[in-house]
Amino acid sequence: MKRTEQLHFLHQTIPEEYWKAIIENDSTYDGTFFYAVQTTGIFCRPSCKSRPPKYDNVLIFPHAEQALAHQFRPCKRCKPTGARVPDQEWIYGVTDYIDKHYTESLTLDILAAVSHGSPYHLHRVFKRITGQTPVQYIQAKRVTKAQELLKQTHLTVSEIGRQVGISNAAYFVSVFRKHIGYTPAHYRERQGSGS
């Protein structure tokens, strides 16, 4: 069963004192419970200094092992398992987040916040692990999806740009041409002619 299917059964009301501990980063609750954020796939100690999550996205676990069993990854910042998260695993979590949210506005600051790291460290480690910067990875993901839409739909170039997360049509054309060597319209023509 996938994590999202499992989580459907886990929706819960968070005790008020636990929610307050999360919001206030209360270290006296460390070891009492762990909280996981469904949108990021990461779990933390109550004292974690990361950006406060939305209440509806939080699940509570009494033990770190339970969060791990539900396929949540330990936070790189607060290290809820006591162990350092390997860089490869951390970046895998970031690429997984990008793959699921590439249509949204994604900046280095946003990615750093959801992955519980600093923008500078994330940029450096991401490039070392993947060979690309986060922005290059996001653009490649968007262009790949745009190629599929150009082949499989009759949406306009502007509509496709918006669907892949680039609302400025001129910028979308520029990014697409930089990656593929053709404008989106020319790419669609070439696909239609079998070239």
Average pLDDT over residues 113-117: 84
Q: Which residues are catalytic?
A: 44
Q: How far is CA 94 from CA 3, 43, 65, 116, in A?
A: 17, 14, 22, 10
Q: Following DSSP, what letter does each residue of 96-123 receive, concatenated?
A: HHHHHHTTS---HHHHHHHHTS-HHHHH
Parallel, antiparallel, or unpaired: how do β-strands 73-74 and 42-44 relate? parallel
Does pLDDT of 10 surpass 70? Answer: no
Structure tokens at 53: 């999550």
Parallel, antiparallel, or unpaired: how do β-strands 42-44 and 58-61 relate? unpaired
Mean pLDDT score of the chain, rounded to an integer? 88
Average pLDDT over residues 134-140: 96
d(Cα 168, Cα 161) in Å, to the nearest integer?
7
Does pLDDT of 84 surpass 90? Answer: no
52: confidence class by pLDDT, cuts 50, 70, 90? confident
Does pLDDT of 2 surpass 80? Answer: no
Does pLDDT of 43 surpass 80? Answer: yes
47: confidence class by pLDDT, cuts 50, 70, 90? very high
Does pLDDT of 4 surpass 60? Answer: no
Average pLDDT over residues 18-37: 92
pLDDT at res. 187:
94
d(Cα 106, Cα 121) in Å, to the nearest integer?
17
Range with the poorest average pLDDT among 95-109, 155-169, 179-193: 179-193
CA angle in degrees (0–180, nearest 5) for 28-17-72: 75
